[in-house]
Amino acid sequence: MAEGVDVAILGGGNAGYACALRAAQLGLSVILVERDKVGGTCLHRGCIPTKALLHSAEVVDHIRSAGDFGVLVGEPSVDWGKVLGYQSAVVTKLYRGLQGVIKARKVTVLAGSGVLVAPDAIEVTTPDGGKQTVQARAVVLASGSYARSLPFIQIDGEAFITSDHALTLGDLPASAIIIGAGAVGLEFASLYRSFGVEVTILEALPRLAPGEDEEVSAELTRQFRKRGIKSVTGVKVTAAEASGNGASVTYETADGKTEVVTAERCLVATGRGPISEGLGYEEQGVRLERGFVVTDEWCRTGVDGVWAVGDLITQPSLGLPIPHLQLAHVAFAEGIHVAEQIAGSADPALVDYLGVPRCTYTTPEIASVGYTEAQAREAGYDVEVARYQWAASGKASILGEPHGFVKSIAEKGGKVLGVHMIGPRVTELVAEAQLIFNWEAYPAEVAALLHPHPTLSEAVGETMLHLAGKQLHGA
């Protein structure tokens, strides 16, 4: 049976369902093809469940430090089953809410595995084995990504796991090796340590959080060391095998030495790959690069009537100093942008990828937007830098977290180029930094705005005062 609609979307993750909701809002008929659950990786296996675990970990840390604030309690004990139950409850509530919104917008969700069989058609194999062809004047590819591993590591769900397994395993390991120091690896390292796990991080690049400003990476390394998290950077993992004690990982250091580390479990967090194999993309003329769908800044694939969004895509033609960001809020923006194009909106807003806020929910938190200092200099800017240490912040001292800093970068005599933060609650502060960067504000313009005292937001204001030549507090 063939069914014709305005828009057919292959994949119901953040990018897919955002596109569906916006398209329906604009009066288009939409079919959303999803083989699992709408909400995708972020809701079910990524952002939301991970942050729920991180919040439980934060509660444990607060209890441990309660005596510093005059509140006397004993060492907290953790019921891992209840932690997972809390995580599941959060996901379930949000999933039901999303289903309600999709139903209210009259988006048709077609359960099954889809394959692009023509530029205007998706063939869907339903759970009962039946087949249905959806025809549409516009097709959006949003098939998402999967947790990558290394070719010589056998992911068995016990000794060697990905983040998918880590969210559902019924026990906490006594010790863990984490391969990869991007956001996923760092967040699991942080929450594992809070729950008492001995953690070793192995990273191929020279520093933790390699996509962040170098000073942020250095501060994170110091803070992780204080927490008892061991990290080894600039290494090449060469072998891994399950042993009687769990996992054994062999790596080579930068100076050519071979080392072996063992732990009860090894979490492989080496990034996410595109889900594109066997979905008919290349057969219909869609260009792939390392499995990613290549698009332009409008998320167009080069095949008339076919767009692609979310973790699935790469955009080499943009020439940015950062890769395409596999973030939920980027996926939302791309889905909205494509829906507006399909609906014929006069001026759909392009996604400013350099202006996307980036967050890592470790302890301490990391948040940033715009150029790092090194990127700004490489781009040819004559820069000036201001730093505000949390040790000078009244609110950070009250919270007992006076560690880290806010670092702002501006063109001399010109606009703000980037803001980089590590410390308490900075993932909630980056929204202001995003506005400053994306509106190309000058430091003096922001310095004229009042930041309430005592708040953490003052730190952003203090760096702008500094850049404007009006520094008040701090060294």
- Hey, which residues are catalytic here? 453
Residues 309, 335: contact at Cβ < 8 Å? yes
Residues 406, 348: contact at Cβ < 8 Å? no
Residues 360-383 as b or e (16 or more Cβ within 10 Å = b): bbbbbbbbbbbbbbebbeeeebeb
Q: Which helix (H) or strand (E) holds 175?
A: strand 175-179
Rounded to whole angstroms, how far apart are CA atoms 14 and 142?
9
Tell me the CA distances in angstroms from 65 to 68, 174, 325, 364, 393, one per residue in order: 6, 22, 35, 15, 19
Rounded to whole angstroms, how far apart are CA atoms 358 and 239?
32
Residue 100 CB partners (closer than 8 Å, separation 6+): none
- Report the relative pairing of strands 131-141 and 306-308 from DSSP bridges: parallel
Residues 209, 75: contact at Cβ < 8 Å? no
Rounded to whole angstroms, how far apart are CA atoms 209 and 231?
11
Q: What one-character-per-residue DSSP string does 301-338 give?
A: -SSTTEEE-GGGEE-GGG--SSPPP--HHHHHHHHHHH
Kindly compute the dihedral angle of the four CA atoms of residues 372, 377, 381, 387, in this order, to the nearest 10 degrees.
50
Residues 395, 454: contact at Cβ < 8 Å? yes
What backbone torsions phi and psi does residue 102 show, to the nearest 5 degrees? -60, -40
Residues 456, 430: contact at Cβ < 8 Å? no
In the three-class reduction of DSSP (H, G, I as helix; E, B as strand; rest coil), residue 2 is classed as strand
Rounded to whole angstroms, how far apart are CA atoms 65 and 67?
5
Single-letter code of the amino acid located at 384 = E
Q: Is 404 left (phi over 0), alpha (psi -120 to 50) or beta?
A: left
Residues 422, 359: contact at Cβ < 8 Å? no
